Every structure is written in structure tokens, then in C-alpha cells.
Amino acid sequence: MITKDNRAAYWKDNLRLVLICLAIWFVVSYLFGILLVDPLNSIRLGGYKLGFWFAQQGSIYVFVVLIFFYARQMNKLDQKYDVHED
């Protein structure tokens, strides 16, 4: 049986996790790839300018890692609050 308190606590933890993930999502794309692209471009990563690299490569790699991280953490939360399927 899922209690009301349990439900609320689960939802709160879930929102916290989503916020953390979306903060990282924002930083690698909008911040590094767009807003701070000029200063970052003065740093080089091999033949890449760093800001350009985040915009065309780095942000995408981070997105992939983020989703798997989120899915893993959510599975743990599901177990912890006993709201998982089956």
C-alpha cells in the first residue's frame, strides 16, 4: 500500500533529481554552447575551440549520460519508496 506521505516524499525526491539533471542540461548547452561560447572559445581542445566543441559535440554526449543517470537514480527511488512495478 502506498501511503500519502510516501507518495509526497517520493515526488519531492523525484523533482529534486529532475532539477539537478536539468541544471546540468542547461549548463552544457545553453551556458557553455551559447551564452559563454566566446570566452570558452579561447580555450582549445585539440583542433576544437572549446565553446564550439560543447555546441556541436560535448553537449550531446552529456545529454546521453544524463538520461541514463536519471533512469538509474529513478529506479533506486522507486525501490526506496516501494512504488516500483511488480
Site membership for other proteins, residue 43 (CB under 8 A): no
Site membership for other proteins, residue 63 (CB under 8 A): yes
Instruction: Write out the E strands in the chain.
Output: 44-45, 48-49
Q: For the chain, where are the alpha helices, taking DSSP H only? A: 4-26, 37-40, 50-53, 59-80
| Residue 84 φ/ψ, nearest 5 degrees | -70, 165
Site membership for other proteins, residue 13 (CB under 8 A): no
Q: Which residues are near other proteins by CB under 8 A? A: 2, 7, 10-11, 14, 18, 21-22, 25, 29-30, 33-35, 37-38, 41, 45-49, 52-53, 55-57, 59-61, 63-64, 66-68, 70-71, 74-75, 78, 83-85
